[in-house]
Structure 1
């Protein structure tokens, strides 16, 4: 199979998943790459491109071992139409649990043929300069491995005539998936008014529309998914996540998750003639 077009379809509040998928696309070497970033609320209704003839790179972050519900909902708008797909889960150096399997299963349900899967590490959304968790990931080595993964996917597809020449993709995970625990409280980033310049960046990047900027900045703690896109985007450091529950978890995780984990990659095996 000759792949000349790649489509990146992702949910990526802090852009780490997108950066990794862009590196994968470079490795694939497609002459045409289209980015379909499903992160923001307006993507719920925008028309989606046809995927025919393309390799689709589907990616999402891992929240508590699962694909975030809002990410799943937006990815469900995709129509695979038999196109090959590589699924990528990006986690914060804890575990990816069932998320990669969940992405694989979702891709199949949407009509894709998963040919490869990978789990990469990105800086944890709760990470701060004072309590770093996988800080700086993906780093140069990660992105190099993402490119190598993309090249391996391209090579596997180049070695077959049709997708039926591949066995079903096998990736780690369990069924039923671990439950998505409902949010126990209204924990969310807050705004230090003494630092806030009312630029509105926090509202612009929120994937669920939980932030509103007027005379003050308000946050809907029930809607917030704790992705921390707003804290990363704030130019003055006014947005902070200092809820006691999160602070306690973060402080323990600095030590518990100190050992850097490496990417895991998986390719569908070819069928024996």
Structure 2
């Protein structure tokens, strides 16, 4: 059968995962596309029962895992066997246990993993000084995402996708999460109080009034606020994370390619 109803679900603070999923969905070419972007709290439903021909779900990789914020939001999802394609997007180092973790999350929710993929996006910590996978996903990445979508549609049409069962890479138990930095995360020098940072923050960690305040307990260091700031006023200034940024730029500059499991 052709894909009549496709659901796209994502957590994507810097929009890189969203762009990949958009391209996959374009390749699938479903008659009806429903998008559930769970990046911001106010977009997360109390519950979501999925009974679609195909579901694509995606999230970023933080130190080899799915971020806890995304894990909690994905818990509202339920299904009775809908085929699902978990997709993770990582910053050119490694996705480690994130893809199998996402597959396990949706399996526990009642979905059936029929394919999976790991794509590359510009690292959240990437800057002009420490460039890490700059401008990715690029057109080559998006082209591969569209082709992946076309492959999913073809297998759905000939009946082989629904019968498929795919094991994706990763370890169980998953690797330990990296300890969260506790320092005040972001500087605001040159801030124009435009409010863009507050609007994109996925955890409501930022409040803009007569000045900008960032709650370090809520901040997940996604750097969406840094990427969106038109005045370059938002800067990541946690010494440990700046060291990590330099290490990533020095050791993981070689281009990695998407990995697809179908």
Above 0.5 in TM-score? yes
- 1:187 CA drift (Å): 4.8
Rounded Cα–Cα distance in structure 1 between residues aligned with 2:182 and 2:12 = 24
Rounded Cα–Cα distance in structure 2 between residues aligned with 1:47 and 1:223 = 21
Aligned pair 1:109/2:108, yes or no?
Answer: yes
- 1:157 CA drift (Å): 1.8
Aligned pair 1:139/2:138, yes or no?
Answer: yes
The question of whether the paired residues in 2 share the 8 Å contact of 1:202 and 1:211 is answered with yes
Aligned length: 262
Rounded Cα–Cα distance in structure 1 between residues aligned with 2:15 and 2:56 = 15
Distance of aligned partners of 1:131 and 1:184 in 2 relative to their CA distance in 1, 3 Å threshold: closer
Per the normalisation by structure 2, the TM-score is 0.95
Report the 3-state secondary structure (helix = DSSP H, G, I; strand = E; otherwise coil) of the residue aligned with 1:79.
Answer: strand
- Alpha-carbon RMSD across the aligned residues, in angstroms, is 1.5
Once the two structures are superposed, residues 219-267 of structure 1 have per-residue CA deviations (whole angstroms, 9 ceiling, x without a partner) of: 1112110000001111211111122111111122112010010000001
What aligned pairs does 1:1-273 form with structure 2 within 5 A after superposition? 1-44=1-44, 46=45, 50-160=49-159, 163=162, 165-166=163-164, 168-192=165-189, 195-267=190-262
- 1:184 CA drift (Å): 3.8
Report the 3-state secondary structure (helix = DSSP H, G, I; strand = E; otherwise coil) of the residue aligned with 1:218.
Answer: strand
- 1:197 CA drift (Å): 1.1
Rounded Cα–Cα distance in structure 2 between residues aligned with 1:7 and 1:187 = 37
Rounded Cα–Cα distance in structure 1 between residues aligned with 2:51 and 2:25 = 17
- 1:47 CA drift (Å): 5.2
Rounded Cα–Cα distance in structure 2 between residues aligned with 1:8 and 1:160 = 21
Structure 1 unaligned regions, length at least 5:
268-273
Rounded Cα–Cα distance in structure 2 between residues aligned with 1:179 and 1:89 = 18
Structure 2 unaligned regions, length at least 5:
none
Instruction: Determine the structure 2 residue equivalent to 1:271.
Output: none
- 1:49 CA drift (Å): 5.6
Q: Which moved more, 1:84-93 or 1:215-224?
A: 215-224
- 1:54 CA drift (Å): 3.1
- 1:4 CA drift (Å): 1.7
Rounded Cα–Cα distance in structure 2 between residues aligned with 1:40 and 1:14 = 12
Per the normalisation by structure 1, the TM-score is 0.92
